[in-house]
Structure 1
Amino acid sequence: MEKTVNIIKYSGEVEAFDIEKLKHSLRQSKASEKLVAEIAQEIQTRLTEGMTTKHIYEMAYKILKRKSKSGSARYKLKKAIMELGPTGFPFEKFIGKILEYEGFKTEVGVVMQGHCVTHEVDVSALKANDHYLVECKFHIDQGSICNVRIPLYIQSRYKDLETQWLKQKDHSGKFHKGWIYTNTRFSSDAIKFGECAGLGLVSWDYPEQNSLKNKIDSSRLYPLTALSSLSKKGKIKILNKGIVLCREICDTPTLLDDLGITASKKKSILEEANELCNH
């Protein structure tokens, strides 16, 4: 029987290391069972008491990167989304792109008049008679949680806007709903209130079958920050152009032209982007 090794989570909590959790995360990156077993075995030999999950993740990522660039990109997806920061605007654009993929016509950063005051809405999404107002809560710390105050606040904003809309003839036949998207997690009270109040909630792992991670994997709309071939400086330069998706680089390779990189480096970036988007 293997000795129990305690590790420290991002939240600071201590728990026993579970090799099955590591294997599950590696399988999510589309790694083969052989590669999953190889990486898990190497991690176990290097594991020490009190090691952080961050350190374990970084070790697994480096091993996976040597074997499969696209696999390592999927494995670091959560971190890649955080690299869209430090401001929340690229994340808002990213969520807008996901909603567009789902058939919505979207606008990012829209100022709307409510019954009492004006509000800036992160993403307005319209499909047929469904009109969604989306608030994006972006965090750069994996341990951050959206507590119940967030949906309480968003619900009050949404109700102020809804009251105004119901006065307008062109809105009377529409189905309106407020949503909150976050790249981390909701507290149990936040979920309880959101469900009770009729707010839509999407976090990294909630709801189970339609979480942010699931939406990204199923649509293959990966953030360009997931590309290991692209330097941090290059990522920032492209993000500053309002580009947030790997797919946008696949569709328009000329986006890489002014990065001052060699033809071979450009080829490497495009190969990784196409493998990731078309896996």
Structure 2
Amino acid sequence: MENAINIIKYSGEVEVFNIEKLKRSLRHSKASEQLVVEIAEEVQKQLTDGMTTKRIYEIAYEILKQKSKSGSARYKLKKAIMEFGPTGYPFERYIGKILEYEGFKTDVGVVMQGHCVTHEVDVTALKANEHYLVECKFHSDQGRNCNVKIPLYIQSRFKDLETHWLKQKDHSKKFHKGWVYTNTRFSTDAIQFGECAGLGLVSWDYPQQNNLKSKIDRSRLYPITALPSLSKQDKQKILNNGIVLCREVCDNPKLLNTLGIPTTKKKKILEEANELCNH
């Protein structure tokens, strides 16, 4: 291909740069088409052979941040969730919040008795006669995915718990199902096993119509770590206080008062959060 520029993906694979893929990712930020074209052209000017997709993302993000705070927050959505680390607990709380939005009553970090042993379940979700057990697999590295061992293990835990539940009168008529949520991706055989075993799977881009990204966009439950004005230290401080959503700050701005964040910065945080939640 004439004038083709090779770039290096997160996985280490090499592929030819495709400007249309960059434009598609920018459109997900809800930036105007004019801005999408402008950013894509600027990135293309700075491209060099062997540049990483990470660096391309950084260039696009910095330009977008100057033009649209809410757009840049949406553009960095995947990276923002990875900033929930190093523990998986904020991600568990985050998935609990998404399921609450979908009408479930949820609990996070529940120890439950199974038929054979006790289990700590990341999220339990109950709505009418639907009772879900959710395991959350959080990765802070985009190159790490969930292989088939994860759904195999989760399904065995779910079956142990289900066997115990079915002995109880109040559970005998409930619909039980195990789920796995991850912020990265499932391998092909993980999806094949999950579908065959009746285990629910939700990853960044699976299933096609109801994946994690589409759930977030639909609910506007954006992670607090997406806000451009927050430093790494600010994010950790906020997460340590159990706050995972921009919406939590929008609904209760006083949450920021106990975190030792300067008044001028609090104002900026609130402006960005409100723009993102109410766009």
> Shorter-chain-normalised TM-score: which range?
over 0.9
Whole-Å Cα distance in 2 between the matches of residues 262 and 93 of structure 1?
26
Letter in 1 for 2:242: G
Instruction: Give SS of 1:123's match.
Output: strand
Letter in 1 for 2:55: H
> What does the per-residue CA deviation read over 1:92-123, in whole Å, with 9 as the maximum and x for residues that have no partner?
00000000000000000001111111100000
Whole-Å Cα distance in 1 between the matches of residues 260 and 104 of structure 2?
36
> What does the per-residue CA deviation read over 1:232-272, in whole Å, with 9 as the maximum and x for residues that have no partner?
22221111111110000001111222343443322111110
Counterpart position of 2:39: 39
Residue range with higher mean Cα deviation, 199-208 or 1-10: 1-10
Whole-Å Cα distance in 1 between the matches of residues 82 and 25 of structure 2?
18
Whole-Å Cα distance in 2 between the matches of residues 275 and 193 of structure 1?
41
Counterpart position of 1:118: 118
Counterpart position of 1:19: 19
Counterpart position of 2:59: 59
1:1-279 aligned within 5 A: 3-279=3-279
Whole-Å Cα distance in 2 between the matches of residues 176 and 80 of structure 1?
32
Letter in 2 for 1:10: Y
> What does the per-residue CA deviation read over 1:147-175, in whole Å, with 9 as the maximum and x for residues that have no partner?
00100110100011111111111100000
Instruction: Give SS of 1:121's match.
Output: strand
Whole-Å Cα distance in 1 between the matches of residues 262 and 114 of structure 2?
51
Moved over 6 A (4+): none
Aligned Cα RMSD in Å?
A: 1.0
Whole-Å Cα distance in 1 between the matches of residues 231 and 146 of structure 2?
31
Identity of aligned residues (%): 81
The alignment covers a number of residue pairs equal to 279
1:230: Cα distance to partner? Answer: 1.9
Unaligned runs of 5+ in 2: none
Instruction: Give SS of 2:72's match.
Output: helix
Label 1:155 to 1:127 Cα distance change in 2 as closer, same or farther (>3 A).
Answer: same
Instruction: Give SS of 1:249's match.
Output: helix
Unaligned runs of 5+ in 1: none
Q: Give TM-score, length-normalised by structure 1.
A: 0.98
Letter in 2 for 1:73: A
Determine if contact 1:205/1:212 at 8 Å carries over to the other structure.
yes
> What does the per-residue CA deviation read over 1:123-145, in whole Å, with 9 as the maximum and x for residues that have no partner?
00000000000000000000111
Whole-Å Cα distance in 1 between the matches of residues 141 and 213 of structure 2?
17
Determine if contact 1:115/1:163 at 8 Å carries over to the other structure.
yes
1:23: Cα distance to partner? Answer: 0.4
